Structure 1
Amino acid sequence: MFLSVGQSPRADIIDEMLDSLDLPIQAMEIGALDGLSQAQVHDLRVRPGELSIITRMADGSDVVVSKPRIAERMAEIAAGFQPGQYDLVVILSTGLFRDFESTCPTVNAQRAMESTVISLAAAGSRVGLIQPLVQQVDELDIPALSSYRITASHAADGDKALLASAILDLADCEIIVLNSVSFTESDRQMVAKASGKPVILARRIIASAIRLLLHGTHPATAPGVAPEFSEKLQRLTPRERQVLSLVAEGLSNKAIARQLGISPKTVEIHRSNVMSKMEVSTSNTLIRMVVAAGHP
């Protein structure tokens, strides 16, 4: 189940990710704005003093809504899913800074991206973020990133002029992160070619997490993934692959246990096995390995 901020369907995002996964996935989707009247949608628009998030309507238009109020609506939807109702729930937004209570295994796109940025910055890299809205540059306030070298700029997906301007803003950065699910593979290729730097795409990070969580029930060799990473991945049990993906999101043992329906102590054992089999000593190193595997 893909849970998006705007209105479904979001084939522009989901179809691309499913094509890259090459897994037999039955994808369903719910949009937080589905079924709302124009007046109800208007009431969710961002107000002065509120943090903002941009999303897409079914007719292709964009709307800027209140981040805290749309996050609350999405949390209510996620909390309504029944245990075992879905093999996986994907929170399809990179702007919602909160946990979502779910009894189904869950990919939280924002958590996955935040962990990725932290792991890259912790290794000493100066990281540049490209946000979809200009106001989100000033709104970027992630306590976990405060001690790292992070620079932000903005551009809309597909806007080559703004992307070029953002590249200039991030000239001193060593790695660029396209920090929204709206950015496409074409955007990534354009930024990578123009900047000559590694560029991280949110959709690839999310796809990597999906692949790891579903690998046990639908094993597949991912195209473009380094043989060394694939070989190490094959050492893991299906449950260990699930734990690896959730560790890569920065979740605690207790949160992982809640999603997988096992005890925190069991999670701790699986986590130790994952670190040993993947031949890493820290979570940050593990996350960087997963990121590299998803961005050949």
Structure 2
Amino acid sequence: MKSSYNPASASPKAAEARHRVMFLSVGQSPRTDIIGDMLENLDIPIEALEIGALDGLSQAEIDDLKVRPGETSIVTRLADGSDIVISKPRIAERMAKIAAAFQPNEFDLVVILSTGLFRDFESTCPTVNAQRAMESAVISLAAHGSAVGLIQPLQQQIGELEIPALAPYKISASYAADGDKKLLASALIDLADAEIIVLNSVSFTEADRQMVAKASGKPVVLARRIVASAIRLLLHGTHPVTLPGVSPEFSEKLLRLTPRERQVLSLVAEGLSNKAIARQLGISPKTVEIHRSNVMSKMEVTSSNALIRMVVAAGHP
């Protein structure tokens, strides 16, 4: 089942819809609370469509996806606005099948709208995996020597947080629901030693980010901004570069890149390998390697981590 979010209600420019973007969410569509917020800040003409992994299921089928003993969990939202905690591995399999069924060039971009699914999604369309983008951002910040504090939506997710690549770094975690000022304040006490706070779910809003930043006095990374930044870079491969709120220096460097190099930049920032990038863009790994080298040179960085930090900073003025 596909539902279409009408972007014209969010932005006059969106009426010129040019890029077909499919948002694949864990729960039920529509998620206009997330997608509408992203579109308002992207300033790109987009035709936004959405599929929820729980769309079309009966209540019994949804109940059958609830967490069983030994399974990891993920929280998502139903169409009536209520939250439900379901099995992470089983919903990930369901979403993978949906993504794999998309036809080549059916969409200009597919966005996996969840920061809790630790897997790659095979798709013949260029894809933004929110979890991979966030994981890459956290690793790049931690590798730079920063002590990173993660705020997860659920308490049980703290114990379930197993990202092998983060093992060498200074990472701490706490939990809070989006919009819950009391729990967010409590989480900041747990993360007192962190130098950077990451709101590690697309459910967290700009209001949450501002509240945490004000209360902590520390930089706060918002998942929605990371995902929006990835969308912007990929779609700007075929659209003039205008980046509201982004530093002139970063914008100037982006102007040096070809459309394909901007696409490679976004996928590199998501932490993808050359082979994975090649599959998404329909080019050879060797060609990706050449584009990647050009991007590093033009953006004046010497490592992928430095490139990712630059993209994260650009999305978080």
| TM-score bin (small chain) | over 0.9
The answer to whether the 8 Å contact 1:79/1:102 transfers is yes
Match of 2:116 in 1: 95
The answer to whether the 8 Å contact 1:212/1:244 transfers is yes
Alignment of 1:36-115 (within 5 A): 36-115=57-136
Q: For structure 1, list consecutive stretches of 5 or more residues without a partner in the other structure.
A: none
Match of 2:282 in 1: 261
Match of 1:177 in 2: 198
CA distance in 2, matches of 1:218, 1:154: 38
SS at match of 2:74: strand
Shift in Å, 1:268 = 0.4
SS at match of 1:162: helix
Correspondent of 1:156 among 177, 182, 190: 177
The answer to whether the 8 Å contact 1:55/1:63 transfers is yes
Shift in Å, 1:221 = 1.1
1:222 counterpart letter in structure 2 = L
Shift in Å, 1:255 = 0.4
The answer to whether the 8 Å contact 1:23/1:220 transfers is no
Q: For structure 2, list consecutive stretches of 5 or more residues without a partner in the other structure.
A: 1-21
CA distance in 2, matches of 1:148, 1:220: 35
Match of 1:119 in 2: 140
SS at match of 1:91: strand
SS at match of 1:117: helix
Correspondent of 1:208 among 229, 234, 244: 229
TM-score of the aligned structures, taking structure 1 as reference length: 0.99
Match of 2:210 in 1: 189
Shift in Å, 1:216 = 2.0
The answer to whether the 8 Å contact 2:230/2:266 transfers is yes
Q: 1:152-192 deviations in whole A, cap 9, x for unaligned?
A: 00000000000000011100000000000000000000000
CA distance in 1, matches of 2:241, 2:106: 23
Shift in Å, 1:219 = 2.0
Q: 1:73-120 deviations in whole A, cap 9, x for unaligned?
A: 000000000000000000000000000000100000000000000000
The answer to whether the 8 Å contact 1:88/1:107 transfers is yes
Shift in Å, 1:222 = 1.5
Residue correspondences, number: 296
2:295 counterpart letter in structure 1 = V
The answer to whether the 8 Å contact 1:7/1:56 transfers is yes
Alignment of 1:281-292 (within 5 A): 281-292=302-313
Shift in Å, 1:217 = 1.9
CA distance in 2, matches of 1:249, 1:144: 14
CA distance in 2, matches of 1:219, 1:142: 36
CA distance in 2, matches of 1:175, 1:35: 40
Match of 1:33 in 2: 54
CA distance in 2, matches of 1:213, 1:47: 38
Shift in Å, 1:220 = 3.7
Correspondent of 1:138 among 145, 148, 159: 159
1:265 counterpart letter in structure 2 = K
1:92 counterpart letter in structure 2 = L
SS at match of 1:182: coil
Shift in Å, 1:48 = 1.3
CA distance in 1, matches of 2:160, 2:293: 37
1:280 counterpart letter in structure 2 = V
Runs of at least 4 residues of structure 1 off by over 6 A?
Answer: none
Tell me if 1:226 matches 2:250. no
Shift in Å, 1:13 = 0.2
Shift in Å, 1:223 = 1.1
Greater relative CO (CA pairs within 8 A, separation 6+): 1
SS at match of 2:221: strand
Correspondent of 1:128 among 122, 145, 149: 149
SS at match of 1:27: strand
TM-score of the aligned structures, taking structure 2 as reference length: 0.93
Q: 1:216-239 deviations in whole A, cap 9, x for unaligned?
A: 222241111000000000000010
SS at match of 1:164: helix
2:112 counterpart letter in structure 1 = I
SS at match of 1:34: coil
